[in-house]
Amino acid sequence: MTPNLHLWLIPLLPLAGAAINGLFGSRFSRRAVSSIALGFCGAAFAMALWVVSQFSALSLPYSEYFAPWIRAGNFQADFAFYLDQLSLVMLLVVTGVGFLIHIYSVGYMWEEGGFYRFFSYLNLFMFFMLTLVLANNYLLLFIGWEGVGLASYLLIGFWFTKDSAASAGKKAFIVNRIGDFGFLIALFLLIKHFGSLTFVQVFHRIEPLRPETPGAGLLTAIGLLLMVGAAGKSAQIPLYVWLPDAMEGPTPVSALIHAATMVTAGVYMVARSHVIFDRAPMALMVVAIVGTLTALFSATIGVAQTDIKKVLAYSTISQLGYMFMACGVAAYSASIFHLMTHAFFKGLLFLAAGSVIHAVGGEQDMRKMGGLRTKIPWTFWTMTAGTFAIAGFWPFAGFFSKDEILWQASRVSFVYWGIGVFTAFLTSFYMFRLWFLTFFGEYRGEAKAAHGDSQHQAGIHESPKLMLAPLVILAALSVCGGWVGSFRFERFLSPAFQAGAGASAYDVSTNALASPNERKEEVSSETLLTAVALGAAALGLYLAFLMYYQRPQLPDQIAASLGGFYDAVVHKYYVDDLYATLFVKPLLDASTRILWQGIDRDVIDAAVDNGADGAREISDSVRHMQSGNLRSYAGWIAVGAAGVIAYMVWMGTR
Amino acid sequence: MVPLSYYLILSGILFACGVTGFLIKRNIITIFLSIELMLNGANLSFVAFAAQWHALSGQVFVFFVMVVAAAEAAVGLAIIIAVFRTRETLNVDRVNLLKL
Amino acid sequence: MLSIETFVIVSVIKIVIALFVLLTAVAYTVWLERKVVGHIQNRWGPTRVGPFGLLQPLADGIKFLFKEDLTPPHVYKPLYIAAPMIALVCALTSISVIPVGNWVTVAGVHTPLQITDLNIGLLLILGITSMGVYGVALAGWSSNNKYSLLGGLRASAQMVSYEVSLGLSLVGVLIVAGSFSLRDIVEAQGGHFWGFIPKWNIFYGGQIVAFFIYLISAYAETNRVPFDLPEAESELVAGYHTEYSAMKFAMFFMAEYANMITVACVASLLFLGGWHGPVFGPPILQALLPIFWFVLRVFAFLFIYIWVRGTLPRFRYDQLMAFGWKVLLPLAIANLVITALVVTLRS
Amino acid sequence: MIHLILFLIFGAICVAGAVNLLAQRHPINSALSLVVVMGSLAGEYLLLGAEFVAAIQVIIYAGAIMVLFVFVIMLLNAGAEEDTGGSRVALLFGVPGMLIGTVLMAWVLLERSGTQAVSMGALPGPPKTIGWLLFHDFLLPFEVTSVLVLIAIMGAVVLASHPESVQQRNKES
CA distance D105 to D86: 28
Could you give the ipTM of this predicted complex?
A: 0.73
Per the CB < 8 Å rule, is C133 touching D35? Answer: no
The maximal CA–CA distance of chain B, rounded, in angstroms, is 55
- Average pLDDT in the A459-469 region? 80
Distance CA A22, CA B88 (A): 67
Identify the pLDDT of residue C275.
78
Candidates D59, D74, D128; nearest CB to C153: D74
For residue A621, the distance in angstroms to the closest alpha carbon of chain D comes to 16
- Does any CB of chain B come closer than 8 Å to the CB of residue D100? no
pLDDT of residue A511: 42
Q: Choose from D22, D81, D84, D87 for mutation: most chain A CBs within 10 A.
A: D87
Q: What is the pLDDT of residue A183?
A: 92
Q: How far is B23 from chain A (nearest CA, A)?
A: 5
How many Cβ contacts (< 8 angstroms) between chains B and D?
Answer: 249
Select from A626, A630, A635 the Cβ nearest to the Cβ of B92: A630
Across the interface, of D94, D101, D112, the residue whose CB is closest to A635 is: D94
Q: Which residues from D are below 8 Å from A when comparing CB atoms?
A: 86-87, 89-98, 100-101, 104-105, 107-108, 112
- Chain D residue with CA closest to A628: the answer is D87
With an 8 Å Cβ cutoff, is B1 touching chain A?
Answer: no
% of chain C beyond a pLDDT of 70: 96
Residue A613 binned pLDDT confidence (cut-offs 50, 70, 90): very high
Same domain, D54 and D114: yes
More confident residue, A386 or D160: A386
Choose from C154-163, C325-334, D93-102 the range with maximum mean pLDDT. C325-334
Q: Are residues D65 and D95 in the same domain?
A: yes
**How high is the pLDDT of residue A651?**
84
CATH number at residue D124: 1.20.120.1200
Q: Is the pLDDT of residue A513 over 80?
A: no
Whether the pLDDT of residue A1 is over 60: the answer is: no
pLDDT in tens, D33-82: 888 898 898 888 888 888 888 888 888 888 888 888 888 888 887 777 77
Residue C230 has pLDDT above 80, yes or no: no
pLDDT of A505 above 60: no
List CB contacts (< 8 A) between A640 and chain D.
Answer: 97
The dihedral region occupied by A563, where left means phi > 0, alpha psi between -120 and 50, and beta the remainder, is left
Domains and CATH numbers, chain B: 4-95 (1.10.287.3510)
How confident is the prediction for chain C on average, in pLDDT?
82
Contacting residues of A for D114, CB less than 8 Å apart: none
Look at residue C272 in the predicted model and tell me its pLDDT.
81
Q: Does the beta carbon of D32 lie under 8 angstroms from any beta carbon of chain C?
A: yes
The yes-or-no verdict on residue A564 having pLDDT over 80 is no
Using pLDDT thresholds of 50, 70 and 90, give the confidence band for residue A213. low
Kindly state the percentage of chain B with pLDDT values over 90: 0
Same domain flag for D123 and D173: no
Q: CA separation (Å) from A174 to A142, A161, A171, A222, A465? A: 16, 19, 5, 22, 38
**Are D67 and C134 an interchain contact pair (Cβ–Cβ within 8 Å)?**
yes
- Chain A residues lying within 8 Å of D81, measured CB to CB: none
Touch between B and C (at least 3 CB pairs under 8 Å): no
Residue type, C212: F
d(CA D98, CA A172): 70
| pLDDT tens-digit series, residues A314-364 | 999 999 999 999 988 888 888 888 998 899 999 899 998 888 888 887 788
Residue A578: CB partners within 8 Å, gap ≥ 6?
none
**Which range marks the domain in which residue D144 is found?**
138-173
Nearest CA-CA distance, residue C170 and chain D, Å: 14
Asked whether the beta carbons of residue D127 and residue C133 sit closer than 8 angstroms, the reply is: no
Looking at residue A379, its amino acid is T
Q: What is the pLDDT of residue C30?
A: 86
Same structural domain, D103 and D18 = yes
pLDDT in the model for residue A184: 92
| CB pairs < 8 Å spanning A and B | 32
Predicted local confidence at residue A128, as pLDDT: 92
Number of domains in chain D: 2
Residues in chain C whose Cβ is within 8 Å of chain D: 79, 118-120, 123-124, 126-131, 133-134, 137-138, 140-141, 149, 152-153, 156-157, 159-160, 163, 167, 178, 180
pLDDT of residue A512: 42
pLDDT in tens, C209-221: 888 888 888 888 8
Pair (D126, D145) in one structural domain: no
The pLDDT tens digits for A368-381 are 887 888 888 888 88
How many CB atoms within 10 Å of residue A392?
29
Interaxial angle between packed helices A138-156 and A115-134, expressed in degrees from 0 to 180 and rounded to the nearest 10: 160
Q: Any idea where the domains of chain C sit in the sequence?
A: 4-346
CB contact under 8 A, B23 and A635: yes
Q: Does B87 touch chain D (CB under 8 A)?
A: no
Q: How confident is the model at residue A548 (pLDDT cuts 50, 70, 90)?
A: confident
Both D122 and D151 in a single domain? no
- Tell whether D165 lies on the interface with B, counting CB pairs under 8 A: no
D123 touches chain B (CB under 8 A): yes
Which residues in chain B have Cβ-Cβ distances shorter than 8 Å to D123? 50-51, 54, 56, 59
Partners of residue B41 in chain A, C-beta under 8 Å: none
Minimum distance, in Å, between the CA of residue D35 and any CA atom of chain C: 9
Report chain A's terminal Cα–Cα distance, integer Å: 71
**D114 and chain B in contact, CB less than 8 A:** no
Nearest-Cα distance to chain C for D88, in Å, is 33
Q: What is the pLDDT of residues B40-65, one digit of tens each?
A: 998 988 888 888 888 888 888 888 88
pLDDT tens per residue, range D106-124: 887 777 666 677 777 777 7
Q: Do D34 and D101 reside in the same domain of the chain?
A: yes
pLDDT for B83 beyond 60: yes
Residue type, D18: A
What single DSSP character describes residue A365?
A: B
- DSSP symbol at A159: S
For residue A516, the model assigns a pLDDT of 47
Answer yes or no: is pLDDT of A514 > 60: no
- Report CB contact under 8 Å: D59, C157: no
pTM equals: 0.56
Least confident of A73-87, A329-343, C47-61, D118-132: D118-132
Q: Please answer yes or no on whether B99 and A627 come within 8 Å at the CB atom.
A: yes
Shortest distance, CA B100 to any CA of chain D (angstroms): 16
pLDDT in tens, A253-282: 888 888 888 888 989 998 888 888 888 888
Say whether pLDDT at D89 is over 80: no
CB B38 within 8 A of CB B15: yes
pLDDT band at A611, cuts 50/70/90? very high
The amino acid present at A505, given as its one-letter code, is A
Interval C45-70 mean pLDDT? 83
The torsion angles phi and psi of C195, rounded to 5 degrees, stand at 85, -20
pLDDT tier at A636, thresholds 50, 70, 90:
confident
Q: Residue A222 to residues A133, A142, A186, A267, B7: CA-CA distances in angstroms?
A: 20, 15, 5, 16, 78
How far is CA C10 from each of CA A285, A297, A610, D30, rounded to the nearest angstrom? 120, 125, 85, 39
Q: How many beta carbons lie within 10 A of that of residue A455, not counting itself?
A: 8
Q: Which residues of B touch D104 (CB under 8 A)?
A: none
Task: Report pLDDT for D85.
Answer: 66
Give the residue on B whose Cα is nearest the Cα of A641: B19
Least confident of A421-435, A533-547, C21-35, C277-291: C277-291
User: What mean pLDDT comes out for the span A584-606?
Assistant: 84
Residues D153 and D129 both lie in one domain: no
Instruction: Quickly state the pLDDT bin for A455 (edges 50, 70, 90).
Output: very low
Percent pLDDT > 70 in chain A is 92
- For residue range C87-115, list pLDDT tens digits in order: 888 888 888 888 877 777 766 677 777 77
Q: Is the Cβ pair A639, D93 closer than 8 Å?
A: yes
Partnered with residue A83 across adjacent β-strands are: A62
Exposure string over A578-606, b if 16+ CB within 10 A, otherwise e: ebeeeeeeeeeeeeeeeeeeeeeeeeeee
Looking at every residue in chain A, the average pLDDT score rounds to 83
Are residues D151 and D69 located together in one domain of the fold? no
Strands B2-3 and D117-118: antiparallel
A587 has a pLDDT exceeding 80: yes
